[in-house]
Structure 1
Amino acid sequence: MANTYLDAGTGDALVFLHGFCESKEVWTDFMRPLQQQFRTVALDLPGFGANTHAVSSYTMESMADDVKRQLDELGIQKYLLIGHSMGGYVSMAFAEKYGPLLQGLCLFHSSALPDTDEKKENRDKTISYVERHGVKNFINPFVEPLFYRENRERLKPEIEMMKEIGRATPKKSVIGALAAMRDRPDRTDVLRAAKFSVLFIFGKEDAAVPLDKALEQCHLPGNSMVYFLEKTGHMGMFERTSETRKAIQKFAETIF
């Protein structure tokens, strides 16, 4: 079976979790410069990328357990967790269950808030669309709007890569993850109680995590750093690679 993780570099561990219909591959280039200073690990979440062993239930909690299992197998005891979008939701579930293992947490275009009623409705519509029309027909129009419109031309290869990863995702995983995101609880209390530092990275043009929702939570942890990126949608690792990488590097330096 193919590896469900990328693991390179030595030192304190930065662990990257991908978002919905993504895989560990979205972090490949992003992590490379950080490997001079840190051990960087990117994991495939259950049902995505190479992590294709049978998934009995799709929940943020079960995904967090799988992250813990993979990190245990890699022998990593303490880490900074960086979660993009759905990976951030998994990170919040992880923080709730395994908080003492965390040195820090980065919500990368993500949120501790639950879905709004409107968003839940949209998830249901998407589930029925995927059931009827399949993953490919869903992915093709889904990916491009994640990027701010002014960045789309420049990032055509990245958009194509994202579509390719998305199209390879099993239908069961897409539907399971949509339901898991819809049903996830409010975890703002986890931020309030956090003993670890939290880094928030938000795109000012991100339709998935609107600015007002971002502002609702970034003051909750006792110790937090916040980056708001202009002309950036939901995909800062591609849209603003050097700025977001530098933010994570600085954050990691303050923690370790």
Structure 2
Amino acid sequence: MLPVYFTDQGKGFPVVFLHGFCETNQIWQGVVAHLQDSWRLLAVDLPGFGNSKLSAVPESLDEIADAIIQWLESIRVSRCIVFGHSLGGYITLAIAQKRPDLLAAFGLVHSTAYADTEEKKANRNRVVEFVKEHGVNPFIESFIPPLFANLQHPRIAEVVSMGKTTPLQTLIAYTHAMRDRPDRTDLLADFKGKVLLLAGEHDRLISVESIAEQAQRCQQPVFTVLQGVAHMGMLEDEAGIIRVLRLFLDSVEDI
């Protein structure tokens, strides 16, 4: 089993937070601090990021999903709600496909069930070539700022610092795994529980229109657009995302 470091705060029904590419669970800590009054909040460092070391190089996001499922079993969580940011959303979808019984509901935060386009796959390949030649730091310095609507946002620096802790091996392995992930829009249609689909008005990576399209496939969609933000809603509008998540969590029945 790939090792999984996590924080465990609050009491109640388990809610799991999965971070995005070149992030750690710290990205969720502001949100967690405001929700721990009602739920048990588990914020994970995905294998290879933060305090979760990469003992073996994963070849697919399904392997990461398996690691999260095994971790949940190891801490005796048999049912939960999962929120995934970007990459974390891809892994959330893989978990939902493998073990729908585990999830009472889930949320895709600035994420998508679509596979990469050919253009996006080519871009992933360029990322790998770039970091092999130039290293992690120059990539992170160019990758992070455009994730924010405001390119001078005061929290960009902390995300850049977080990103620079990503090992080269991890960055390459996950870039390949994201490139090769399958389309999971059928899963959206099949999943019987509620699905939160949260878009950023100015997201340069995943458009509002794309997420709205996917919401139409869900049996119980909750589609929300955060105004004035791009791809980092939990930092760009922390109060807004806390409000959205609390309303969603309160609406999930049978937990």
Q: What is the TM-score normalised by the length of structure 1?
A: 0.95
Q: Could you list the runs of 5+ residues in structure 2 that have no partner in the other structure?
A: none
Aligned residue for 2:49, secondary structure, equals: coil
String of CA shifts for 1:48-82, please: whole Å, max 9, x gaps: 11110412323110110111122222222211100
Pair 1:21 & 2:22 matched: yes
Pair 1:205 & 2:182 matched: no
- Specify the code of the residue in structure 2 equivalent to 1:125: R
- The residue number in structure 1 matching 2:227 is 230
Pair 1:245 & 2:246 matched: no
CA distance in 2, matches of 1:130, 1:33: 37
Q: Percent identity?
A: 35
* 8 Å contact from structure 1 (residues 47, 55) kept in 2: no
CA distance in 1, matches of 2:216, 2:237: 23
Residue 216 of structure 1 and its aligned partner are, at CA, apart by 2.0
- The residue number in structure 1 matching 2:35 is 34
CA distance in 2, matches of 1:242, 1:78: 27
* 8 Å contact from structure 1 (residues 46, 55) kept in 2: no
Aligned residue for 2:36, secondary structure, equals: helix
Normalized per residue, the structure richer in helix is 1
Residues 135-150 of structure 1: pairs in structure 2 closer than 5 A: 135-149=136-150
Residue 183 of structure 1 and its aligned partner are, at CA, apart by 0.4
Pair 1:183 & 2:180 matched: yes
How many pairs does the alignment contain?
251
CA distance in 2, matches of 1:74, 1:11: 14
CA distance in 1, matches of 2:95, 2:89: 9
CA distance in 2, matches of 1:107, 1:3: 21
Aligned residue for 2:11, secondary structure, equals: coil
- The residue number in structure 1 matching 2:74 is 73
RMSD of aligned alpha carbons: 1.3
- Specify the code of the residue in structure 2 equivalent to 1:199: L
Aligned residue for 2:99, secondary structure, equals: helix
String of CA shifts for 1:127-179, please: whole Å, max 9, x gaps: 10011100011101111110002xx43x42x2111111111110010011111
Residue 229 of structure 1 and its aligned partner are, at CA, apart by 1.6
Pair 1:60 & 2:58 matched: no
* 8 Å contact from structure 2 (residues 200, 227) kept in 1: yes
Aligned residue for 2:144, secondary structure, equals: helix
- The residue number in structure 2 matching 1:192 is 189
- Specify the code of the residue in structure 2 equivalent to 1:240: D
Residue 42 of structure 1 and its aligned partner are, at CA, apart by 0.5
Runs of 4+ in 1 over 6 A off after TM superposition: none
CA distance in 2, matches of 1:236, 1:57: 28
Range with bigger deviation, 189-198 or 73-82: 73-82
* 8 Å contact from structure 1 (residues 114, 186) kept in 2: yes
- Specify the code of the residue in structure 2 equivalent to 1:215: A
- The residue number in structure 1 matching 2:214 is 217
- The residue number in structure 1 matching 2:123 is 122
Q: Which one of the candidate residues 160, 165, 187 is aligned to 1:163?
A: 160
Q: What is the TM-score normalised by the length of structure 2?
A: 0.95
